[in-house]
Copies of this chain bind each other. A is one copy, B any other.
Amino acid sequence: MAPRIAPPMNAAAPRAGGSKLVSPLDGLLGYRLRRASMALMGDLVEILRPFGISVVEASFLILVGANPGCRQSDVGRALAIKRANLTPLVGRLKARGLVADAPIDGRSLSLTLTDAGVALRDEALALISESDRQARQHLAIDEQALFAALASLVR
């Protein structure tokens, strides 16, 4: 056994400082993912605050903007938003003049961004992309590998 230097007496007492806790959670991938996700979500909330839209609403606008004429139900599936929650969400965006809908076949609705919706989406997406780029640029890991690993955890 290698000799060990005796630590100072106060180092032997756990909880001395009173604030640093042992965290078994730090060894869990799920926990680390949640904390990282929450950190980026927090940034996103700040970015979106001036626009007066939520993260879910922004995701919705971005997806509809990239798929003009898409069915409401498909957007809901893609974002894992339940039908029952989709109605008031679309209602808010329509009320703000950001989204327009039109019947497809009598039971489905097609969605499109209005000009105002496109303008807001463009502004917001630019800021979101820039913030995301900044978060990625100091990663000490291959970005493609990271994305692939994250994708492998979904479903």
Residues of A near any B CB (own CB < 8 A): 15, 18-19, 21-25, 28-41, 43-44, 59, 62-63, 66-67, 69-71, 74-75, 77-78, 80, 125, 128-129, 131-132, 135-136, 138-142, 145-155
Contacts and interface: CB of A to CB of B under 8 A. Distances in A.
Nearest to A80: B38
A62 B132 CA distance: 32
Nearest to A35: B154
Number of copies: 2
A28 B141 contact: no
Given A19-B77, A24-B125, A152-B138, A37 B40 contact: no
Contact of A154 (B18, B36, B154): B36
A154 to B, nearest CB: 5
Contacts of A63: 21, 23-25
A102 to B, nearest CB: 14
A62 to B, nearest CB: 6
Given A22-B66, A25-B63, A155-B39, A147 B32 contact: yes
Contacts of A28: 128-129, 132
7 contacts: A24-B62, A29-B132, A30-B135, A32-B151, A34-B41, A37-B37, A141-B145
